[in-house]
Structure 1
Amino acid sequence: MGKVTGFKEFERQDEKYTPVEERVKHYKEFTVPLSESELTKQGSRCMDCGIPFCHSGCPLGNLIPDFNHMVHQGEWQKASWILHSTNNFPEFTGRLCPAPCEKSCVLGIIEDPVSIENIEKNIVERAFQEGWIKPQPPKIRTGRTIAIVGSGPAGLAAAQQLNRAGHSVTVFERDDEIGGLLRYGIPNFKMEKEIIDRRLAILEAEGITFQTNVNVGINYDVEELKGFDAVVLCGGATERRSLPTPGIDAEGVVQAMDFLTQQTKVLFGKKVENQVMATDKNVIVIGGGDTGSDCIGTSNRHGAKSVVNFEIMPKPPGHRSPQTPWPFWPLQLKTSSSHEEGVERNWLINTKEFIKDKNGKLTGLKTVNVEWKMVPGQRPQLIEVEGTEKTWPCDLALLALGFTGPESTLAEKLGIKTDARSNYKAEYGKYQTNISNIFTAGDMRRGQSLIVWAISEGREAARQVDIYLMGKSDLPSKDIAGDLVAM
């Protein structure tokens, strides 16, 4: 597998970024690709580890050593075939996935792990460049019709799989463009939207029908779904978390996703009323995850006066914590490209009040430092540290606090049961709701999660829908031996 001594001979090399002073002037991707010869070396670092734990780290069950080996051998077209056999959209995951596979890499025990995500991205980019990715319309149509609600990665994956099984698939999207959060929720500097459009062209050529500005349950009667043989709900977890904090209603306290969505829409000439801008403002981003990082990068591109980041949890260690040993996902500090562009990061800090002037405009934040008290058998307790109150100047506070779950509209109107976390209830592996012909997958079923989980669930749900409609399925499943490389 790879070069037998490759992991001893070559160090991990990652893509470089263009200088900060250049990239903050635009919203384009700013990575500098590695050369083909260097990528070949990176593929050769994949060691013959016996048991490739990267498979278990990847929710898609990607055949990582296999495509790494093909890259090492210069067999890029074979690498593309292997990669696409388990992943419908490696151009998305190669840019946006946090790469749990790399955290499970056996080489990562003693050295830097194999650069799996970057190799993945380069395989699919080479495949598009060479014209290897072509529409694969089904040869025979089954006559069965399927409605998919939501066009994020779960919905798109389910749509492509079910279309390839010969069913007629219609995807409904409530926004004006296809892609879900990939379209407007992910900044262009992380993934340019042409990346979505070229894949959509493939899906449309395969025979999938897309309808935008269709909000099922709002401007599209749910009764019309009865005209389909099966329905797959992939609407995501879009209920945004807020704070029970005084002054939250101040003008200048904005949900992160609104801020990010507006910027991307403006970038593509969409009309946005009263766009929220960070220009010349003291910006505080509350929340230390990927969305918070995206807000930091966008604020810097707006020309913010200052950017500060609050996180209520402790600062993670710089290296893997003993509490999260290999091959588990590590508790470890993450410094993104947006962080490197300029931000003051603060941990163990809680917002006590949003201060506003007589006109209701935000002028500052009051905070207090906190500690987490751990009691065995009990939930952690948040303790305020006396004497640590502080007032911060702030003209724009961005709430990047994640999502609490899916919206309830469809569940209520369709009579679908939900779990204690408001997720649409469907057993993992079955994806079938309490209504026999309605299935659900992705964040709508499991709650806020990773893009790679969304694609995985979309693929797996498609197989279950196919079995429901036809009694059997030739669609691949990562859970069935021998099917992993089936197309």
Structure 2
Amino acid sequence: MSDIMRPMSFEQLLNWTLTEYKKNGTVFGEHHPYHADSKYNRTIFERPLETPAGPAAGPHTQLAQNIVAAYYTGSRFFELKTVQIMDGEELSACVNKPCIKADDECYNCEWSTELYVPQAMEEYIKAWFLCKVIAKEFELGSMDGFQFNISVGYDLAGIKSEKIDNFLNTMQHAQDSDIFNSCKEYLMGHADLFEKVTKEDIESISGDICNSVTISTLHGCPPQEIERIAMYLITEKGFHTFIKCNPTLLGYEFARKIMDEMGYDYVAFGDFHFKDDLQYEDAVPMLTRLMKVCEERNLEFGVKITNTFPVDVKQNELPSEEMYMSGKSLYPLSISLAAKLTEEFDGKLRISYSGGADYHNIKEIVDAGIWPVTVATTLLKPGGYDRMSQMVSLLEKENVVFTGVDPKAVRKLADDARTNPHHVKAVKPLPSRKMKKQVPLLDCFVAPCKEGCPIHQDIPAYLQLVKAGRYEEAMKVITEKNPLPFITGTICAHPCMSKCTRNFYEESVYIRGMKLIAAENGYDALTDSLTAPAVTKSGKAAVIGGGPAGMAAAYFLRRAGMETTLFEKTDALGGVVRHVIPGFRISDSAIDKDAALLEKMGVNICFNTEITDLDMLKNAGYTAVVLAVGASEPGVLKLEKGEPINALEFLSDFKAKDGNLDIGKNVVIIGGGNTAMDTARAAKRTKGVEHAYLVYRRTKRYMPADEEELVMAVDDGVEFMELLSPVKLEDGKLLCKVMKLGDYDASGRRGVVETGEEKEIPADTVIAAVGERVPTAFYESCGINVNERGRAIVNEETCETSRAGVYLAGDGLGGPATVVEGISDALRAAQAILGETLVRDFEPETDEDTIYGRKGNISDKKDGGEESGRCLGCSGICENCVEVCPNRANISIRVPGMEKHQIIHVDYMCNECGNCKSFCPYDSAPYLDKFTLFADEKDMEDSRNQGFTVLDKDQVKCKVRFFGETYIWTKGEETRIPDGLQKLMETVCKEYAYLLR
């Protein structure tokens, strides 16, 4: 595959736009058109502007189709991608690919157009015409309601070169250019394609495309050079002018402090650029002079905040040594610079803004007098360009005239940014959103939440039922695979939520909470409908241990018709959940409701019965045994002096005595997992305790605890003592070695090293939460083989041990695990015992209008049925790769006879930016792994992708690469190519011919 983009002809672009719109009501895959109302018009550069927002000079303004997609969804101010004297193949060779990573804060290592400058100019002029005609044809607004702003760099010599000079002159007055006239001529000759656009409209399209420019300079450009460039463009070219300013104007110490305070301490940058870039004391007089020059010429002048913020590549984010940071982490720096300059110039300096602007802050930015606002990072996330229509709707305001920037309002934005949850970094690193699967060539739509759940809970189906208020049906879907809806609805570690695509919008759908709502509202109706099934299976099963895994195993076996007895050594079911997890986490009544489901199902339950001899069970006629005995052996923490208390013992005592324990005023908990968090929170609630200190040898970011558990501990007042390694407990004090984070290793993880310092922490009691161990001795006494770590050797598919007919499930299998992992073990064991599949899948109904209506829209709702309504229906329509591709190179195809839409990758539109890789739920890169359409045989030869090029669309004759073999295939011929791919290629030829060059 080549990373060189091949621009489309104006004819192809127009044909694509009109055909797709008439057929699907979309333009380049965008579903949310914005229809501008002239009453909200503003004026800038002596021209009208329907919305004060649009795409920044970056990946969304490089090709004509990008600009058209942005216009369709509400963009009206376009900062065209920067042009410079280095272009085309020379520049492309300098850009390492992939070059964009936008899954949280964004990084990139590209900076200006990868086209040749004349090509870029042609793309912008083609886009100019297309936006003009679709404005009227699709009733999107006035044909003169948008503006193009050119971005140029990086030095005066380059800007004065013949190539760039011709670009500037033509973009100012394109009437005599070949591309302008060819586009106009084509439209005039095909005016019959339109229903609303007339020849008079086409004739009226002005060649005066750009009267404004944004100056972009490289880091280290001297202030004298910046001023010379500006003076040239103002005085000799007559442009309204913005100068891009970098956050380096804030100074290294300020930037480093803000980043550290907001959780971006891992973002590495030195002070080099801060020293080498334009200095604040030089910037202010320069800007003052330029403002005066523009005022004398009746031109508008301002700054563009912000240009790039260079940081070091430390965790293999991108294949380069340095990259540019943008998005949520750049916002606090950019808005701080805006505040500083606004105060310096008393609001008289105009500011064009970019740098982390998005749905959450754009209205406040614009209301403060800062506009136009251009965005990039938010458009690189799922929802893509469709996010723009929601953002610009927030900016609708009548009779807006720019009179200055409000210093107080901007200062408030800057101050608030430091604690704004949308911009502060999460405490823990983002978990991987990827499934460990290769994306298939066909039918790739899948629900990541379901795939991320160990039991593949049918989450989209029950969310849909909860939203509809059909709680009993939702409970039937849930309990098909999960017999513990109250326990999992309350304390499940919810790996499903970490996979939810909504995380890329704002936050996950609160799936666990929706399960609990279903349970609370549908439980009675469900239990009323349950009856114990008849015993239809031969043999009988014994389940040892009444924790979540044992409860689940007994439920599945009995529901399937096998006589089942559960042996529990205490007087109640629930295991660790009941006896150890504190009551402030989950109530006994919730556990009782799940336990009652087993009784309704007809499970025989023997309380206060400890089984130590499996032979006894075999002799009693039990043909299968499931051991769900937990990880009951305490983990060991050796100190040089003093003995810590075991965390599970403490938690058990805490729960049994309702916190009435004598453990002193100062309690230290050693550990960083979920159990440590529970222990610390319980200690904080224990009678007489004033301080609960949590000691860990790394920082919070590297603690294994779930972020939710960690945040709850912080909220409860647990005092985190990071970078400490415990040594000994003596005289009421815990002595610790002080550690520091070391360098990044190849995986991007930071180690710890000793500093040589020590620290004492007051400690009346020390509690060790360092992990529990499986009961190795018990297994060996039962004749079960164990490995060198003392864990039972099992068949991973069936959970069967070396002893025939004996299975393991839950914590006792591999050490402490989550409740839902225990349920997964139980289901595998039960299915192995019975030799059949015991659960079925439920698929949600897919309503395309509903799902597309949700895509691209940020939601702040998290309440009951409305929360379920945030689900994006990924199992029916995913299309992340389509939405996030700036170039529209991934296409959703409707193939007759196939239930799901199909995705193809269009080679000639792709520059291998890699953004689709970040958001594909599979461990794949769609631009490499999806079936690819090539422009011609040459492009196909330059690629290793599986795909095709069309040799004759009428005959449906294609050259195809499939599984490494290349074929010439014509429709109707016998072939090894799967039927689905044949249908896809035929559909491209017949229904999507506008994709063909």
TM-score per shorter chain, which class? Answer: 0.7 to 0.9
Are 1:348 and 2:723 an aligned pair?
yes
Deviates more, 1:171-180 or 1:393-402: 171-180
Are 1:145 and 2:540 an aligned pair?
yes
Are 1:390 and 2:759 an aligned pair?
yes
Which residue is equivalent to 1:412?
780
Kept in 1: contact 2:725–2:737 (CA 8 A): yes
Are 1:60 and 2:478 an aligned pair?
no
**Shift of residue 94 of structure 1?**
1.4
User: Secondary structure, in 3 states, of the residue corresponding to 2:756?
Assistant: coil
**Which one of the candidate residues 669, 694, 713 is aligned to 1:309?**
694
Q: Cα–Cα, structure 1 residues 369 and 334, in superposed 2: closer, same or farther, change >3 Å?
A: farther
Separation in structure 2 between the aligned mates of residue 332 and residue 211 of structure 1, nearest angstrom:
38
User: Secondary structure, in 3 states, of the residue corresponding to 2:564?
Assistant: strand
Q: Report the residue type matching 1:340 in the other structure.
A: D
Scaled by the length of structure 1, the TM-score of the pair is 0.76
Q: Report the residue type matching 1:385 in the other structure.
A: T
Query: Percentage identity across aligned positions?
Result: 26
Separation in structure 1 between the aligned mates of residue 642 and residue 525 of structure 2, nearest angstrom:
52
- Tell me, which stretches of 5 or more residues in structure 1 are unaligned? 11-48, 269-274, 319-328, 357-362, 468-472, 477-482
- In the TM superposition, 1:225-304 aligns within 5 A as 225-227=617-619, 228-249=622-643, 253-267=644-658, 276-278=661-663, 280-303=664-687, 304=689
**Shift of residue 276 of structure 1?**
4.1
Q: Cα–Cα, structure 1 residues 222 and 65, in superposed 2: closer, same or farther, change >3 Å?
A: closer
Separation in structure 2 between the aligned mates of residue 176 and residue 140 of structure 1, nearest angstrom:
26
**Which one of the candidate residues 837, 841, 844 is aligned to 1:484?**
841
Q: Report the residue type matching 1:120 in the other structure.
A: K
**Shift of residue 267 of structure 1?**
4.2
Q: Cα–Cα, structure 1 residues 138 and 459, in superposed 2: closer, same or farther, change >3 Å?
A: same
Kept in 2: contact 1:296–1:339 (CA 8 A): no
Which residue is equivalent to 1:31?
none
Are 1:119 and 2:504 an aligned pair?
no
Are 1:424 and 2:792 an aligned pair?
yes
**Which one of the candidate residues 801, 813, 823 is aligned to 1:455?**
823
Which residue is equivalent to 2:485?
90
User: Secondary structure, in 3 states, of the residue corresponding to 1:55?
Assistant: helix
Q: Report the residue type matching 1:63 in the other structure.
A: D
Q: Report the residue type matching 1:81 in the other structure.
A: K
Q: Cα–Cα, structure 1 residues 485 and 69, in superposed 2: closer, same or farther, change >3 Å?
A: closer
Deviates more, 1:196-205 or 1:408-417: 196-205
Which residue is equivalent to 2:804?
436
- C-alpha deviations, 1:438-463, integer Å up to 9, x for none? 11122222322111100111112111
Separation in structure 1 between the aligned mates of residue 699 and residue 722 of structure 2, nearest angstrom:
6
Which residue is equivalent to 1:41?
none
Separation in structure 1 between the aligned mates of residue 501 and residue 705 of structure 2, nearest angstrom:
14
**Shift of residue 243 of structure 1?**
1.3
Separation in structure 2 between the aligned mates of residue 132 and residue 172 of structure 1, nearest angstrom:
23
Which residue is equivalent to 2:958?
none
Kept in 2: contact 1:285–1:296 (CA 8 A): yes
Are 1:205 and 2:600 an aligned pair?
yes
Kept in 1: contact 2:472–2:526 (CA 8 A): no
Kept in 1: contact 2:472–2:523 (CA 8 A): no
Q: Cα–Cα, structure 1 residues 333 and 191, in superposed 2: closer, same or farther, change >3 Å?
A: closer
**Which one of the candidate residues 70, 75, 81 is aligned to 2:470?**
75
Kept in 1: contact 2:674–2:709 (CA 8 A): no
**Shift of residue 412 of structure 1?**
1.3
- C-alpha deviations, 1:129-188, integer Å up to 9, x for none? 545565431123435221111111111111011111222212122233322101111111
Separation in structure 2 between the aligned mates of residue 330 and residue 226 of structure 1, nearest angstrom:
40
**Shift of residue 393 of structure 1?**
1.4
- C-alpha deviations, 1:230-257, integer Å up to 9, x for none? 11111122222121212233xxx31111
Are 1:401 and 2:770 an aligned pair?
yes
Q: Report the residue type matching 2:654 in the other structure.
A: Q
Separation in structure 1 between the aligned mates of residue 510 and residue 751 of structure 2, nearest angstrom:
38
Q: Cα–Cα, structure 1 residues 440 and 413, in superposed 2: closer, same or farther, change >3 Å?
A: same
Which residue is equivalent to 2:19?
none
Are 1:365 and 2:769 an aligned pair?
no
Q: Report the residue type matching 1:422 in the other structure.
A: G
Q: Cα–Cα, structure 1 residues 199 and 134, in superposed 2: closer, same or farther, change >3 Å?
A: farther
Q: Cα–Cα, structure 1 residues 368 and 340, in superposed 2: closer, same or farther, change >3 Å?
A: same
Separation in structure 1 between the aligned mates of residue 837 and residue 719 of structure 2, nearest angstrom:
52
Kept in 2: contact 1:236–1:444 (CA 8 A): yes
**Shift of residue 308 of structure 1?**
0.9
Q: Report the residue type matching 1:296 in the other structure.
A: A
Q: Cα–Cα, structure 1 residues 355 and 415, in superposed 2: closer, same or farther, change >3 Å?
A: same
Deviates more, 1:345-354 or 1:422-431: 422-431
**Shift of residue 316 of structure 1?**
0.7
Separation in structure 2 between the aligned mates of residue 136 and residue 266 of structure 1, nearest angstrom:
38
Which residue is equivalent to 2:118?
none
- C-alpha deviations, 1:266-297, integer Å up to 9, x for none? 349xxxxxx7434x511111112222222222
- C-alpha deviations, 1:392-411, integer Å up to 9, x for none? 211111111122x3112331
Kept in 1: contact 2:677–2:709 (CA 8 A): no
**Which one of the candidate residues 609, 614, 620 is aligned to 1:214?**
609
Kept in 2: contact 1:315–1:348 (CA 8 A): no
Are 1:192 and 2:562 an aligned pair?
no
Separation in structure 2 between the aligned mates of residue 317 and residue 375 of structure 1, nearest angstrom:
14
User: Secondary structure, in 3 states, of the residue corresponding to 1:308?
Assistant: strand
**Which one of the candidate residues 544, 549, 563 is aligned to 1:154?**
549
Kept in 2: contact 1:134–1:202 (CA 8 A): no
Bigger Rg over Cα: 2
Q: Report the residue type matching 2:720 in the other structure.
A: R
User: Secondary structure, in 3 states, of the residue corresponding to 1:316?
Assistant: helix
Q: Cα–Cα, structure 1 residues 259 and 162, in superposed 2: closer, same or farther, change >3 Å?
A: same
Separation in structure 1 between the aligned mates of residue 682 and residue 672 of structure 2, nearest angstrom:
15
**Shift of residue 214 of structure 1?**
2.7
Kept in 2: contact 1:55–1:101 (CA 8 A): yes
**Shift of residue 369 of structure 1?**
1.5
Kept in 2: contact 1:231–1:437 (CA 8 A): yes
Q: Cα–Cα, structure 1 residues 333 and 156, in superposed 2: closer, same or farther, change >3 Å?
A: closer
Separation in structure 1 between the aligned mates of residue 560 and residue 459 of structure 2, nearest angstrom:
25
**Which one of the candidate residues 159, 164, 167 is aligned to 2:562?**
167
Kept in 1: contact 2:553–2:827 (CA 8 A): yes
**Shift of residue 211 of structure 1?**
2.1
User: Secondary structure, in 3 states, of the residue corresponding to 1:385?
Assistant: strand
- Identify the structure with the greater helix proportion: 2
Q: Cα–Cα, structure 1 residues 231 and 131, in superposed 2: closer, same or farther, change >3 Å?
A: closer
User: Secondary structure, in 3 states, of the residue corresponding to 1:195?
Assistant: helix
Q: What's the C-alpha RMSD, in Å, of the aligned pairs?
A: 3.0
Separation in structure 2 between the aligned mates of residue 336 and residue 382 of structure 1, nearest angstrom:
23
